[in-house]
């Protein structure tokens, strides 16, 4: 197994994206080192997807796990403002562990022209379907149906929920049903030195100092944040769920345990379903193009629409209902 891969860059490096990659541990992305017009990737302990597919018969379970991992990484791109067209999705540049688990992708932080194409088509048509041995004893009807769906609409990162359903990926997740009040605290995932977190937090929250490591200016990169007198809390109508409290930052709500700040284990909840946003003394809810929608006072929000929330408003993430209260 090779331990290093060198990839030439066909465009200038995007400094912002390079900073995002350098300052965050993003699930599913291999760390890269930039050297002039190329990147060097450490792949020790991994094998290429191409090598794995050449030596194994493709099973339904492996294919679904592969697609689920790939779409999950694409969804994570929304949180970090990464362009899904910058991922290397050639089979010889996609990596997994020898046991077939843990898809790892390479991201090229380059200044690329906007592309409305769908990389998943290239992955399926150019890298997987023509070169694999399918297990003929299994039912692959869903793959044909999924490809039909893939070709019927135009895709963006915000429409990946349709692909999860098209390829029947949600059947594999076995999400637990909540049968009692969860006693453990919701763990807020802090992304250290994250550009995204710093942008969301600027101007709100308790008085504190934030130092931008490696991006210091004449004031040493120190920003004094304003003091917020009150906060908004979403109280669940069903006591099986925990309250959602705005604490001077935006919260991603969904069922993806890797990337959501607030985990809702409902089968009708999207992996990245909605966002609860705190800006100064104002509060908003934004739907992240979820399949089953986000509602404020029974009115369904348009995808990515920012809706201000006031005390007493009723907010629903699909069928899970909350009431907004100031605290």
Could you give the angle at the alpha carbon of 79 between the alpha carbons of 73 and 83, nearest 5°? 65
Burial of 247 per CB tally in 10 Å (0-12, 13-18, 19+): middle
Binning pLDDT at 50, 70 and 90, where does residue 289 land?
confident
- pLDDT at position 175: 35
Reduce the secondary structure of the chain to three states and give it as a string. Answer: CCCEEEEECCCCECHHHHHHHHCCCCCCECCEEEECCEEEEECCCCEEHHHHHHHCEECHHHHHHHHHHHHHHHHHHHHHCCCHHHEECCHHHCEECCCCCCCEEEECCECCCCCCCCHHHHHHHHHHHHHCEECCCCCCHHHHHHHHHHCCCCCCHHHHHHHHHHCCHHHHCCCCCCCCCCCCCCCCCCCCCCHHHHHHHCCCCCCCEEECCCCCCCCCCEEECCCCCCCEEEEECCCCCCCEECCCCCEEEECCCCCCCEECCCCCCCCCCEEEEEECCEEEEEECCCCCCEEECCEECCCCCEEECCCCCEEEECCEEEEEEEC
- pLDDT at position 170: 62
- pLDDT at position 185: 30
Dist. CA 318–CA 243, nearest whole Å: 16
Q: Which whole number is the average pLDDT over 199-204?
A: 38
- pLDDT at position 95: 93
Q: Are 100 and 55 in contact (CB under 8 A)?
A: no
Task: Determine what percent of the chain is predicted with pLDDT higher than 90.
Answer: 19
pTM for the complete prediction?
0.54
Task: Determine what percent of the chain is predicted with pLDDT higher than 70.
Answer: 76
- pLDDT at position 321: 94
Residue range 203-257, pLDDT digits in tens: 333 333 333 333 333 334 333 333 344 688 999 998 888 889 876 677 889 888 7
Q: Which whole number is the average pLDDT over 273-288?
A: 87
Residue range 21-69, pLDDT digits in tens: 888 778 889 988 888 889 999 888 899 999 999 889 999 989 988 988 8
Dist. CA 21–CA 138, nearest whole Å: 39
């Amino acid at each position: 197994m090779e331990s290093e891969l060198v990839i030439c860059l066909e465009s200038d490096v995007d400094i912002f994206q390079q900073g995002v990659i350098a300052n965050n541990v993003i699930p599913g992305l291999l760390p890269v080192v930039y050297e002039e017009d190329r990147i060097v990737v450490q792949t020790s302990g991994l094998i290429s997807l191409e090598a794995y597919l050449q030596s194994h018969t493709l099973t339904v379970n492996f294919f679904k796990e592969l697609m689920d991992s790939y779409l999950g990484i694409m969804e994570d791109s929304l949180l970090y403002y990464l362009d899904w067209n910058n991922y290397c999705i050639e089979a010889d540049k996609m990596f997994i562990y020898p046991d077939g688990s843990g898809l790892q992708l390479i991201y090229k932080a380059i200044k690329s022209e906007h592309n409305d194409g769908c990389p998943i088509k290239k992955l399926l048509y150019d890298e997987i379907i023509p070169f694999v041995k399918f297990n003929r004893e299994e039912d692959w009807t869903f793959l044909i149906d999924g490809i039909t769906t893939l070709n019927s609409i135009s895709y963006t990162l915000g429409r990946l929920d349709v692909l999860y359903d098209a390829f029947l990926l949600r059947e594999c997740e076995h999400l637990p049903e909540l049968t009692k009040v969860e006693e453990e605290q919701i763990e807020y995932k802090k992304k250290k030195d994250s550009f995204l977190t710093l942008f969301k937090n600027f101007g709100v929250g308790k008085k504190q100092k934030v130092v931008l490591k490696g991006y210091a200016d004449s004031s040493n990169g120190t920003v004094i944040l304003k003091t917020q007198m009150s906060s908004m809390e979403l109280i669940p109508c069903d006591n099986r769920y925990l309250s959602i409290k705005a604490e001077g930052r935006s919260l991603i709500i969904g069922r993806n345990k890797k990337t959501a700040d607030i985990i809702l284990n409902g089968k009708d909840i999207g992996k990245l379903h909605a966002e609860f946003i705190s800006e100064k003394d104002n509060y908003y809810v934004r739907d992240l193009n979820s399949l089953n929608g986000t509602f404020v006072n029974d009115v369904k929000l348009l995808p990515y629409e920012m809706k201000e929330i006031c005390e007493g408003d009723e907010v629903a993430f699909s069928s899970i209902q909350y009431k907004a209260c100031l605290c």
